[in-house]
């Protein structure tokens, strides 16, 4: 059974940094593309970033480009989202999700989410 567990969320001041982690299990992580999707309180889903299985390809939403960095460690089955220069509008639940080209750009499995609150 696929299991994705996010951690690292919390309250952070505007302009500061935070790193989210996602621990994956139950599937062959090293051949799976991964992504992050966020959901602001009471709002819809917004795609944030994704990374190919071998870290060669990384894509970002315009809203986070230049501030967020996605990475992964296949030896540890972990994916990360480094978030810098955080803004109030980055406040959201951040979901780690499994999927990419091989799944028709669909996210087949999701974590339970990690809440990031950006506020002074």
Partner 1 sequence: QSALTQPPSASGSPGQSVTISCTGTSSDVGAYNYVSWYQQQPGKAPKLMIFEVNKRPSGVPDRFSGSKSGNTASLTVSGLQVEDEADYYCSSYGSDNNYLVFGGGTSLTVL
40 binds partner 1 (CB under 8 A): no
Kindly indicate which of the ranges 21-29, 43-51, 74-82, 83-91 contains the residues binding partner 1, using the contact rule CB under 8 A: 43-51
118 binds partner 1 (CB under 8 A): no
What are the backbone angles phi and psi of residue 90, rounded to the nearest 5°?
-85, -5
Query: Of the two residues 1 and 75, which places its CB atom closer to partner 1 in the complex?
Result: 1
Hey, what's the torsion of the CAs at 112, 109, 38, 6, to 10 degrees?
A: 40
Q: Is 36 in contact with 70 (CB distance < 8 Å)?
A: yes
55 binds partner 1 (CB under 8 A): no
């Amino acid at each position: 059974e696929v299991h994705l567990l996010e951690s690292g969320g919390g309250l952070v001041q505007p302009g500061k940094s935070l790193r989210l982690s996602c621990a994956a299990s139950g599937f062959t992580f090293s051949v799976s593309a991964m992504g992050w999707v966020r959901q602001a309180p009471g709002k819809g889903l917004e795609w944030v970033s994704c990374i190919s299985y071998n870290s060669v390809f990384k894509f970002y939403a315009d809203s986070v480009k230049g501030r967020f960095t996605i990475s992964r460690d296949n030896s540890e089955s972990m994916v990360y989202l480094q978030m810098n220069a955080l803004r109030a509008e980055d406040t959201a639940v951040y979901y780690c999700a499994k999927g990419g080209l091989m799944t028709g750009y669909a996210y087949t499995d999701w974590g339970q989410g990690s809440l990031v609150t950006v506020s002074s």
